[in-house]
């Protein structure tokens, strides 16, 4: 355990040090985050016509959902895209062999090897938006609600990671799966809006098949006190389920992996 922890600190320390060499990138990234967040808010404002609701969610409550979406989008930029995107390259160029030979778990190595600080401002802005929306929606922050939101964020992150990893792992067979994760990203964009804004069939899809609901809508409901313990448990259960599926699938994929040279 201690060895994994030390390795992680080395990995991220070097990743951050490398990124800090390119200061212009940080500026471009900040600009992109600011632009896309203001665009999202503008788009959201279009839905709030005379009735001032979107699927029974008020403006402030919808802001909480947008905030959570922004947090997860930032998480994808910081953590998932740089790491899991590299799996395809490893398979194509045969460097996955080196990873498998290392005296450390291969899924751990592939999932946490690097970190891109570019997404951190997005996470920060998303949390800020979540806090502001909650404040406007009259949420009273207690230690308990803070804790539950933290748990929901972790569960959501784990679900997102597992989905992404499942698709990335298929590159063992198909080599080119970069585009499959593009499809996933397009579908995840549905998490920008509360689940109630969608027709019933899609609601079912986004809860059970592609659990986007557990990333944004459910945590917001938990904060608002609209969702009870069962939803919280369902989220955690789903996260555990998806993670073990990803783990099992990786071990299965490795069994059919023949290195690039053989």
Partner 1 sequence: MRIFGLNRRIIRVLLGTQYAHMLEYRAEIALWALSGVLPFIMLSVWSGSDARLGLGLDGVALDRYFLSAFLVRQFSVVWVVYDFEEDALQGRLSPYLLQPLHPLWRYVAAHLGEQLTRLPFAALIAAVFFAVQPQAFWQPSVGGFLLAWLATWMAFAIAFLFQSLLAALCFWSEKASALERLQFIPFLFLSGLLAPLTAFPPAVRAWAQWTPFPYLIDFPARVLAGQPVDLMAGFGAQLAWIAVLLPLLLLLWRAGVRRYSAMGA
Residue 261 backbone dihedrals phi, psi, to 5 degrees: -90, -20
Least Å distance between CB 210 and partner 1? 12
Q: Could you give the CA distance from residue 108 to residue 124 in angstroms, rounded to a whole number?
A: 25
Least Å distance between CB 18 and partner 1? 16
Residue 127 burial (C-beta neighbours within 10 Å; 0-12, 13-18, 19+):
middle
Give the residue with the Cβ less far from partner 1, 125 or 155: 125
Sign of CA dihedral 22, 24, 28, 29: positive
Least Å distance between CB 109 and partner 1? 27
Give the binding site for partner 1 (CB under 8 A).
24-25, 28, 31-32, 35-36, 39, 42-43, 46-51, 53-55, 174, 176, 179-180, 182-183, 185-187, 189-190, 193, 197-199, 202
Q: Could you give the CA distance from residue 224 to residue 221 in angstroms, rounded to a whole number?
A: 5
Give the residue with the Cβ less far from partner 1, 23 or 262: 23
Residue 54 backbone dihedrals phi, psi, to 5 degrees: -130, 105
Least Å distance between CB 168 and partner 1? 14
User: Do residues 80 and 161 make contact, with C-beta atoms less than 8 angstroms apart?
Assistant: yes
Least Å distance between CB 147 and partner 1? 32
Give the residue with the Cβ less far from partner 1, 6 or 176: 176
Output b/e per residue, 36-54; b: 16+ Cβ within 10 A: ebeebeeebeebeeeeeeb
Give the residue with the Cβ less far from partner 1, 25 or 106: 25
Give the residue with the Cβ less far from partner 1, 141 or 202: 202
């Amino acid at each position: 355990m201690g060895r994994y922890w030390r390795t992680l600190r080395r990995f991220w320390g070097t990743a951050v040090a490398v990124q800090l060499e390119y200061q212009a990138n940080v500026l471009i990234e900040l600009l992109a985050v600011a632009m896309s967040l203001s665009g999202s808010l503008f788009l959201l404002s279009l839905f709030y016509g005379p009735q001032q609701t979107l699927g029974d969610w008020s403006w402030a409550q919808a802001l909480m959902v947008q905030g959570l979406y922004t947090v997860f989008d930032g998480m994808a930029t910081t953590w998932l895209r740089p790491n899991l995107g590299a799996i395809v390259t490893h398979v194509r160029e045969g460097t996955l062999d080196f990873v498998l030979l290392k005296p450390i778990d291969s899924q751990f190595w592939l999932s946490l090897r690097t970190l891109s600080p570019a997404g951190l401002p997005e996470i920060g802005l998303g949390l800020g938006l979540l806090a502001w929306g909650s404040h406007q929606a009259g949420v009273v922050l207690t230690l308990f609600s803070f804790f539950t939101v933290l748990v929901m964020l972790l569960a959501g992150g784990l679900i997102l990671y597992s989905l992404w990893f499942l698709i990335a792992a298929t590159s063992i067979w198909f080599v080119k799966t970069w585009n499959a994760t593009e499809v996933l990203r397009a579908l995840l964009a549905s998490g920008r809006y509360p689940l109630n804004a969608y027709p019933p069939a899609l609601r079912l899809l986004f809860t059970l098949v592609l659990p986007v609901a557990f990333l944004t809508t459910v945590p917001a409901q938990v904060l608002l006190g609209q969702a009870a313990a069962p939803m919280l448990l369902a989220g955690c259960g789903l996260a555990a389920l998806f993670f073990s599926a990803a783990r099992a699938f990786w071990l299965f994929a490795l069994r059919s992996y023949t290195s690039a040279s053989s």
